[in-house]
Chain A
Amino acid sequence: MTQGAVAAEGVRARPRRRKRGVAKRLAGSVLLHAVVVVLAVVFLAPIIWGFLSSLREVHQGVSGSAIPRPAHWDNYRYAWSGLFAFSHYLRNTAVLTFLGTAPAVLTSALAGYAFARMRARGRNAFFIFVLATTFIPFAVSFIPTFWVIVELGMYSTRWPWVIWGISGNAFLIFLFRQFYASFPSELDDAAAIDGAGHLRTFIQIYLPNSIGPLAVAVVILGTGWWGEYIYASLLLPDRLLPLGVKVANGYYDPGQQFALVPIQLAGSLLFTIPPLLAFFALQKRLARGIVTTGLKG
């Protein structure tokens, strides 16, 4: 083959190769979108089903056509004020979520800073110990925790939530430790020369630069406490119960014969609105936090 022929072959081969590349990319994109759509359907289907069922007639349960006609929007009004004071229990949930989340995020960040930045003998061994506590199953710690709470006279109070709050969270400690370990050590040095001690350095230098991880921590822990059921239903009297427990058990007909499922579903959907709003408010910072803390696997 002459050189010219080789070149001509090359010219013909290039567009074919390019076409093949475009087709490959297109197929990949279609597959990716298909997976995303399937996942979206899997996650959204229960919510859509719950929303449609919440509009059914109270005694109809969940049977009947997929789209209820007529739609009983009154169920939402009834869920809010019909059987119990929705707002009272919503406030209870907010208080318990705040007690369990805000101090825990701060103490976890502080512990993460200490593990990442303060020199102390046995620091790494202690960190591994703290991390190891995340591997203890809930079923193992549940009864001893309950017993300790009762023995401390905290039964029927919100004190356990305060204690859980100030004692931090091992996973979040790990999260903050990883994040703070990536800070240049010169920042600490500069702060030390400027006259800042460890606490001041943490509060004035590290915390303001941790908005992303703080958002991640608030969402992870906050959503957990918002929907917490077991401890709340076992430890708290009715007046302190969070909404999640009340929604699950409070929507019965006056004779307590059967659950008013459409109203229960309406209450559940109302219950999910505050964390959803919080999520949307923190969405950008959350995404940045997930990147900076290396949470994305």
Chain B
Amino acid sequence: MAGIELQTIVKTFPNGVRAVDGVDLTIEDGEFMVLVGPSGCGKTTLLRCIAGLEDVSEGAILIGSRDVTDVNPKDRDIAMVFQNYALYPHMTVRKNLAYGLKVRRTPRKEIAARIAEAARILGLEELMDRRPMALSGGQRQRVAMGRAMARRPAVYLMDEPLSNLDAKLRVRVRGDLSRLHSQLGVTTVYVTHDQVEAMTLGQRAAVMNEGKIQQVDTPQALYWSPSNLFVAAFIGSPSMNLVEARVADGCLRFADFSLPLSELGPEAANLPDRIILGVRPEHFAQVDEAQSPAWAIEGEVTVEENLGAEVLVVFPVNAPPIETDEIVSIRAGEEEEALLAQEARALFTARLPSGTRRLLGSKIRLALDPARCYFFDPDTRESLLSRAPVDEPIPALA
């Protein structure tokens, strides 16, 4: 086994696109590291650089303190699981598992033993004489994993291996992957655009955007203490509510609301005139007219989703939505798939407990906890006030 060290990796394609832009990252021996980010952020390119499938333009890659920057993929002691599994269609499962070992001239007995072990762990014994075409998506995924396992590499590289599975199976395989990693303890780099995968699988996750790492930390820290606007907006589902606000006369003003800054304590003095305010959906609490919390906002509910364990309500606030580059890049995929054109006003989402009475079309009054609000600089997009990680389950994943 081995750790991985990426030293200022740059990858520029012949067409001039800088897919990876100066990435420094140390992955500990045995660690499960997730590279997460929106489509086109450079995460797969970075993984392919580690695999040796792409040459790096600048920088160095060390696997187990050996510089492998110019080493062939086969000599890097890695195994990779691909998004479409890349099983050899004309070979049986057994031959697929054995191929890499055969090419490396591993003794026959050793090959048989390793295949048997991988098949036992992954429950492939019944499928050994089938060809990939005769397997379901989940079975193919297991064979792809088995092929990697049989090699007994120092590092596993996984490129969105669950994305072709249906939602139910994905949850199950996610759990299996996690168990497998604890069992084998092999250093794993896992690429995904799905933040739930990133948060549940990764011991640490590196959030990427435009070829750069935005923040590397534990899932808890990424969620509760985002270092910048991109991480705050990307991590969490539904995502953090964001709105531009002004600091004036001791109050934070946005839309038709005015929130007294005194509630923030001495931290308030560090805020500039303009800020981007962020509130996670679960940090709203419904209040009635009789209650008068220090920070409260109102809105008319336009969408209500009762998910059983919780209710999500969406309401517009009278302020323009945040349209920074980061937010646009996160939304790029969503916008293409969206049914309706984007609202001119910012839409807030609140996560309320189950049993909340029907709210669609009615006015809602919500209290905010100032200690759980996030503040970002609209120019640098950096977080302005530090928020310590909270030892609570992350709502979307709980």
Nearest chain-B residue to A211 (Cβ)?
Answer: B90
Is A186 a contact of B73 with CB atoms below 8 Å?
A: no
Is A189 a contact of B84 with CB atoms below 8 Å?
A: no
Known: A184-B86, A186-B82, A187-B86. A193 touches B51 (CB 8 A): yes
Interface of B is mostly: loop
Q: Mark A184-225, 1 if CB is under 8 A from B, else 0.
A: 101101111111100010001100110000000000000000
- Taking CB atoms and an 8 Å cut-off, the chain A residues in 151-199 that contact chain B are 184, 186-187, 189-196
Is B73 a contact of A192 with CB atoms below 8 Å?
A: yes
Most buried by B among A190, A192, A208: A190
Nearest chain-A residue to B153 (Cβ)?
Answer: A193
Q: How many chain A residues touch the partner (CB < 8 A)?
A: 16
Contact of B74 among A192, A204, A208 (CB under 8 A): A192
Known: A195-B74, A195-B103, A195-B104. A189 touches B51 (CB 8 A): yes
Is A193 a contact of B88 with CB atoms below 8 Å?
A: no
Is B84 a contact of A186 with CB atoms below 8 Å?
A: yes
Question: How near does chain B come to A121, taking the closest CB pair, in angstroms?
Answer: 10
* Complex: A196 Cα to B101 Cα, angstroms: 11
Contact of A193 among B74, B87, B89 (CB under 8 A): B74
Nearest chain-A residue to B85 (Cβ)?
Answer: A186
Number of A-B residue pairs having CB atoms within 8 Å of each other in the complex? 53
Is A189 a contact of B86 with CB atoms below 8 Å?
A: yes
Question: How near does chain B come to A61, taking the closest CB pair, in angstroms?
Answer: 55
Set of chain B residues within 8 Å of A184, measured between Cβ atoms: 84, 86
Is A189 a contact of B89 with CB atoms below 8 Å?
A: no
Known: A195-B100, A196-B103. A189 touches B82 (CB 8 A): yes
Is B104 a contact of A190 with CB atoms below 8 Å?
A: no
Question: How near does chain B come to A167, taking the closest CB pair, in angstroms?
Answer: 28
Known: A200-B103, A209-B90. A193 touches B73 (CB 8 A): yes
Is A208 a contact of B86 with CB atoms below 8 Å?
A: no
Question: How near does chain B come to A125, taking the closest CB pair, in angstroms?
Answer: 15
Set of chain B residues within 8 Å of A186, measured between Cβ atoms: 82-86
Is A205 a contact of B86 with CB atoms below 8 Å?
A: no
* Complex: A190 Cα to B159 Cα, angstroms: 12
Question: How near does chain B come to A195, taking the closest CB pair, in angstroms?
Answer: 4
Is A205 a contact of B88 with CB atoms below 8 Å?
A: yes
Q: Mark B65-105, 1 if CB is under 8 A from A, else 0.
A: 00000001110001110111111111000000001100110
Is A193 a contact of B90 with CB atoms below 8 Å?
A: no
* Complex: A186 Cα to B72 Cα, angstroms: 16
Is B53 a contact of A189 with CB atoms below 8 Å?
A: yes
Nearest chain-A residue to B80 (Cβ)?
Answer: A193
Question: How near does chain A come to B47, taking the closest CB pair, in angstroms?
Answer: 11
Question: How near does chain A come to B328, taking the closest CB pair, in angstroms?
Answer: 29
* Complex: A186 Cα to B89 Cα, angstroms: 12
Question: How near does chain B come to A288, taking the closest CB pair, in angstroms?
Answer: 14
Most buried by B among A186, A194, A208: A194
* Complex: A33 Cα to B103 Cα, angstroms: 54
Is B86 a contact of A209 with CB atoms below 8 Å?
A: no
Is B99 a contact of A194 with CB atoms below 8 Å?
A: yes
Set of chain B residues within 8 Å of A191, measured between Cβ atoms: 88
Is B86 a contact of A190 with CB atoms below 8 Å?
A: yes
* Complex: A194 Cα to B76 Cα, angstroms: 11
Question: How near does chain A come to B334, taking the closest CB pair, in angstroms?
Answer: 27
* Complex: A286 Cα to B78 Cα, angstroms: 40
Question: How near does chain A come to B136, taking the closest CB pair, in angstroms?
Answer: 19
* Complex: A192 Cα to B52 Cα, angstroms: 9
Question: How near does chain A come to B74, taking the closest CB pair, in angstroms?
Answer: 4
Question: How near does chain A come to B13, taking the closest CB pair, in angstroms?
Answer: 12
* Complex: A189 Cα to B157 Cα, angstroms: 12
Is A187 a contact of B88 with CB atoms below 8 Å?
A: yes
Is B80 a contact of A189 with CB atoms below 8 Å?
A: yes
Set of chain B residues within 8 Å of A192, measured between Cβ atoms: 52-53, 72-74
Set of chain A residues within 8 Å of B87, measured between Cβ atoms: 190
Known: A184-B86, A208-B90. A190 touches B103 (CB 8 A): no
Set of chain A residues within 8 Å of B53, measured between Cβ atoms: 189, 192-193
Question: How near does chain A come to B145, taking the closest CB pair, in angstroms?
Answer: 13
* Complex: A195 Cα to B79 Cα, angstroms: 11
Set of chain A residues within 8 Å of B48, measured between Cβ atoms: 189
Is B74 a contact of A190 with CB atoms below 8 Å?
A: no
Nearest chain-B residue to A200 (Cβ)?
Answer: B103
Nearest chain-B residue to A208 (Cβ)?
Answer: B90
Set of chain B residues within 8 Å of A187, measured between Cβ atoms: 86, 88
Set of chain A residues within 8 Å of B52, measured between Cβ atoms: 192
Question: How near does chain B come to A248, taking the closest CB pair, in angstroms?
Answer: 43
Question: How near does chain A come to B57, taking the closest CB pair, in angstroms?
Answer: 15
Nearest chain-B residue to A189 (Cβ)?
Answer: B53
What are 9 of the A-B contact pairs (CB < 8 Å)?
A: A186-B83, A187-B86, A189-B86, A190-B87, A191-B88, A192-B52, A192-B72, A193-B100, A195-B103
Residues of A within 8 A of B (CB): 184, 186-187, 189-196, 200, 204-205, 208-209
18 other A-B residue contacts (CB within 8 Å) besides A192-B74, A200-B103: A186-B83, A187-B86, A189-B80, A189-B82, A190-B82, A190-B88, A192-B72, A193-B51, A193-B73, A193-B79, A193-B100, A194-B103, A194-B151, A195-B100, A196-B103, A204-B99, A209-B89, A209-B90
